[in-house]
Copies of this chain bind each other. A is one copy, B any other.
């Protein structure tokens, strides 16, 4: 996790092409982590898909995180779970997943950053930074939050929310060292090239 720079959030319906191909291409371009973010599948189907993604991510050599659901993460043998504001608290998710699981938390302000650190989060999502094609945000935390969050914590912090190849230089300039993207890779004609461009900007 500490080496991870590029985190990709994908869903079956949100991908331009097939999910397995998109994962393989994103990984070939330099993605380190894939999150399965399915918001509408019934649980039985969700588990089936999570197990598919576990197989594909293992083959691609990237970490696999399940959105929202620690039970699905555990049953699919994922590396961890990502929790939003409405989800279970970190401590509760860890009771399901055990001490070694990666548990990520979305944060939108410094108070949430501090709480996530105290609760034992493994990494943070930091944003939303820009308007996004995947998700409607009520308020952007913006680049200023990237600056203060990066300075506040030593946990791996992935800047997210509308990050693309067009604005990643601004993220890096604000102190962002890691990003999480959805549509930028999932909706790309050539996910590998986009992932590679993002990864390159983060290396510089």
Residues of A within 8 A of B (CB): 42-45, 47, 68-71, 74-75, 85-89, 92, 95-96
Contacts and interface: CB of A to CB of B under 8 A. Distances in A.
Nearest 4 CB-CB pairs, A to B?
A42-B86, A71-B71, A43-B87, A43-B88
Contacts of A45: 86
Q: Looking at chain A's contact residues, is the secondary structure mostly helix, strand, loop, or mixed?
A: helix
A43 B43 CA distance: 14
Given A43-B88, A75-B88, 10 more contacts: A43-B68, A44-B86, A44-B87, A44-B88, A44-B89, A45-B86, A47-B92, A70-B71, A71-B71, A74-B95
22 contacts: A42-B87, A43-B68, A43-B86, A43-B87, A43-B88, A44-B85, A44-B86, A44-B87, A44-B89, A47-B88, A47-B92, A69-B71, A70-B71, A71-B71, A71-B88, A71-B96, A74-B96, A75-B88, A75-B92, A75-B95, A75-B96, A96-B96
In the assembly, how many copies of this chain are there? 2
A12 to B, nearest CB: 16
A88 B85 CA distance: 24
A31 to B, nearest CB: 27
Contacts of A43: 68, 86-88
A68 B42 CA distance: 10
A89 B69 CA distance: 16
Contacts of A92: 47, 75
A45 B69 CA distance: 14
A44 to B, nearest CB: 6
Most B-side CB within 10 Å, residue of A43, A69, A85, A87: A43
A95 B72 CA distance: 11
